[in-house]
Chain A
Amino acid sequence: MTEPASEQVLRVDAYPTHEVGGYRVRAGKPFPFGANVVPGGVSFSVFSDQATSMTLVLYKRGEPEPTAELEFPQEFRTGSVFAMTVFGLDHENIEYGYRADGPYDPVTGHRFDARQVLSDPYARLIAGRDVWGVEPDRSRGYQYRSRVCLQDFDWGDDTPLGIPAEDLVVYETHVRGFTRHPSSRVTAPGTFAGLREKIPYLKELGVNCIELLPVFEFDESDNPRSNPETGEKLFDYWGYNTVSFFAPKAGYAATGRYGMQGDEFRTLIKDLHAAGIEVILDVVFNHTAEGNEQGPTISFKGLDNATYYMLTPEGYYFNFSGTGNTVNCNHPVVRNYVLDCLRHWVADYHVDGFRFDLAAILGRDLDGTPLHNPPLLELLAYDPVLRHTKLIAEAWDAGGLYEVGNFPAYGRWAEWNGKYRDTVRSFLKGDPGITGDLATRIAGSPDLYSSRGTSASVNFLTAHDGFSLADLVSYNDKHNEANGEGNNDGGNDNASWNCGVEGPTDDPGVNALRTRQMKNAMAILLTSQGVPMLLSGDEVARTQQGNNNTYCQDNELSWFDWDLVDENSELLRFTREMIAFRKHHRELRSTAHPTGQLRDSLGLPDISWHGERAWQPDWSPESRLLAVARCGTGDDDVVYVAMNSHWEAHDLELPALPGGRSWHLFADTGAEAPHDIRTPGGELELENAGKYLIGPRSVVILVGRTPDAEF
């Protein structure tokens, strides 16, 4: 029998040495930062380089006024770290913050204001926005309250799945939007617990990684705008304005009102892992919710403005993020902060990777200059705790830095491949002069990632930021009026095509074409080399009614409508089978870029290009037809994908196959469902072995295998 939990080892530091404000205290340990439960009390540690004094402000949970203010004795300061252990605290029922005193001189970067109570940058729980959408009491002096939490979750035998990057099928989704719609029929709509109930859906779809839009605590009520058409309040729905980087968003938890969001989120991750699904977090280190000179003071601004933000020589905020401020990511202290934060999510939440919003900013120097060898990116690439996590950069920023293909990778970093998106979209709508670039993109963009391999390229056609797939084929222009910005927000360059009618229509021809275009998109995305990423809901044609920037829309424009699972089961089935097909064909997931070299065993090259005539691709500007054949090593099948964005049908001459193989039909988006796609392994052998008629704006996928090959 083990020792019972109540019998603790005696420790010298379990006893107080001082008394401050009626509380028994002793010097705390500078590391780790934050509030940590220690024998007999809680150790608080906070950094400020220029503060002249620091005060710990304690509240009883939910009370408007502090119960105690404890100034750190001078001898509790080590370097620029203030650390104090306070004994006898009920860690579950306190909220805390800091008052930092020091110079207020914006020209030199300092904005100390001891009247403000500041959140702890390392707070692992935040109270104040406990339930989504509840209008906060803004008269309270301290809005986002740091809380203490135990890190004792029982993970059982949960271990990282370690899915090779090239085998991932990423599904980008939003915690609230995924189950908030009434049609989700989950116990707790819009929460981690709700998402957990939908794990069977994800598993059946076949994705093995979900990428969650920001889950760090943010304030959904910090958007002052209203919908000009309806007068309804608009939200900060996406959540890219982070309030606290170590705390999961309480409003995303059914148990947030009890402060149990950490356990709820961990339980979700644990169950996703059990279902074979990894979790990537979309993280935002380029800016914070504190905004510019007019923005609120929440934490960094009052603790150490000059350290945490990039400032102009006049003390104003640089704005490479487009949102007012820019985090000073390559300051040595901030680098460590980012590292600590990511380690926390990996070690204490078992997160499998991160997608970095506007990651080009992470490569800028303290004055904004792009660095050749950015220390933060290198640090993250080699960190022992993060060593096997996925690191994905959105390799551009709002300051004009565009690093797709050039992001400093250190053998680790992958990128959202914006060029893949743009090229395939253009091809789909039928633009001329695209086939050459299309070939490069679907082969894993060797022009961008020659030394990094195909898995450096995260291929996507749609993401939260932009049109959904259904809208991409239904609108020529964005329709963002509901955002209250006069339709001036959101991207204008969408490479979209409405198939003849702007918006919804009853025209069966137009609707059939739209469905076909969505299937074409899925077929190309899921047969391209690189890591495919799907936008949640695209598999069932989720619409945002032409809004390509729903950052503020907490309503049916953004939510996943689960009725579409039945209504658009044809597209869902197509997507599901395409994902399954990808899983069954290693040659689509090769990490090495194809070279065109012959595979000895088959007499076919690893990749070959074809047009109407076999072995004769048409790279002319007028060409809208391209076929690619991929051949693996050994006894693998041959996969042939013909893509026709022309409005005319074309006769395809199929390349001859070696070794008794014959062509079998897996998918033809031009065919009526259920003949549009088959189950992998159940492909139908072609009667006319050498030819196939590809319809207008269609994708055809064939498998070259022996008729009796075992699947």
Chain B
Amino acid sequence: MTLNVKERRNKTGTVLVATGEINSETSGSLLQTLLPLVREGKPLRIDLTAVTYVSSAGLRTLLVVYREAQHAGVAVTLYGVSEEVRFVMSATGFLDFFSAGEAEAAAVKAAAKATAQARAAR
């Protein structure tokens, strides 16, 4: 299983959209993509909506990026974490390190729900 990544830049920062699996085979190149983005110093959002599986090595890669960003004073958030990936991240403690991203993801989810409800009410 491969991992495809696409960058999208906007005024507030960079969004990296990942598709596929983040495992020991794919995490090396993901790290090489992410580290330069962290060094740019702009907020970075990693969209995992289309990521089906994150292995132990994958979780470590995400945490390394997060640690690098902490050192650089850059905000990194995860977005679109699937239920299964979220469960694995929670059970293994990795989720605790990404609290900011989770809050944002929850806010986005709540906003989406509110939008949907508003549409339904029309």
Contacts and interface: CB of A to CB of B under 8 A. Distances in A.
Contact of B56 (A6, A92, A193, A270): A92
B62 to A, nearest CB: 12
A304 B82 CA distance: 47
Interface string A174-213: 0000000000000110011100000000000000000000
B19 interface: no
B93 A255 contact: no
Given A2-B71, A5-B31, A5-B64, A92 B91 contact: no
Nearest to B74: A1
A482 to B, nearest CB: 32
A193 B91 contact: yes
Interface residues of A, number: 30
B111 interface: no
A151 to B, nearest CB: 12
Given A263-B56, A264-B92, 6 more contacts: A1-B71, A2-B71, A93-B24, A191-B91, A193-B90, A264-B91
A378 to B, nearest CB: 36
Nearest to B35: A4
Nearest to A152: B60
Interface residues of B, number: 25
13 contacts: A1-B71, A2-B68, A6-B35, A91-B24, A92-B56, A93-B25, A149-B56, A150-B60, A253-B91, A258-B55, A263-B93, A264-B93, A267-B91
Interface in A98-115: none
A635 interface: no
Interface of B: 23-25, 31-32, 35, 39, 55-57, 59-60, 63-64, 68, 71-72, 87-88, 90-94, 97
A266 interface: yes
A525 interface: no
Interface string A245-256: 000000001110
A135 interface: no
A264 B59 CA distance: 13
Nearest to A254: B91
A381 B92 CA distance: 32
Contacts of A270: 93
Contacts of A193: 90-91
Interface string A228-270: 0000000000000000000000000111001110011011001
B56 A260 contact: yes
A154 interface: yes
A563 interface: no
B88 A260 contact: yes
A6 B31 contact: yes
A37 to B, nearest CB: 11
A273 to B, nearest CB: 12
Contacts of B97: 154
Nearest to A91: B24
A686 B77 CA distance: 62
B23 A92 contact: yes
Interface core residue of B24, B39, B56, B68 (most chain A CB under 10 Å): B56
A626 B51 CA distance: 68
B4 to A, nearest CB: 20
Contacts of B64: 5
A152 B94 CA distance: 12
A447 interface: no
B56 A90 contact: no
B39, B55, B90: residue with the most chain A Cβ atoms closer than 10 Å: B90
Nearest to B38: A4
B7 to A, nearest CB: 18
Contacts of A1: 39, 71-72
A689 B32 CA distance: 79
B92 A255 contact: yes
Residue in B25, B35, B91, B93 with the greatest tally of chain A CB atoms within 10 Å:
B91
A253 B92 CA distance: 9
A150 B24 CA distance: 12
Nearest to B55: A92
Residue among B35, B56, B72, B92 with the highest chain A CB neighbour number at 10 A: B92
The 6 closest A-B pairs by CB, nearest first: A267-B93, A92-B24, A263-B92, A193-B91, A254-B91, A92-B57
Nearest to B32: A6
Q: Which of A6, A187, A253, A258 has the most CB of B within 10 A?
A: A258
Contacts of B60: 150, 152
Nearest to B91: A193
A110 to B, nearest CB: 38
Nearest to B31: A6
Nearest to A192: B91
A152 B87 CA distance: 20
Contacts of B63: 154
A127 to B, nearest CB: 13
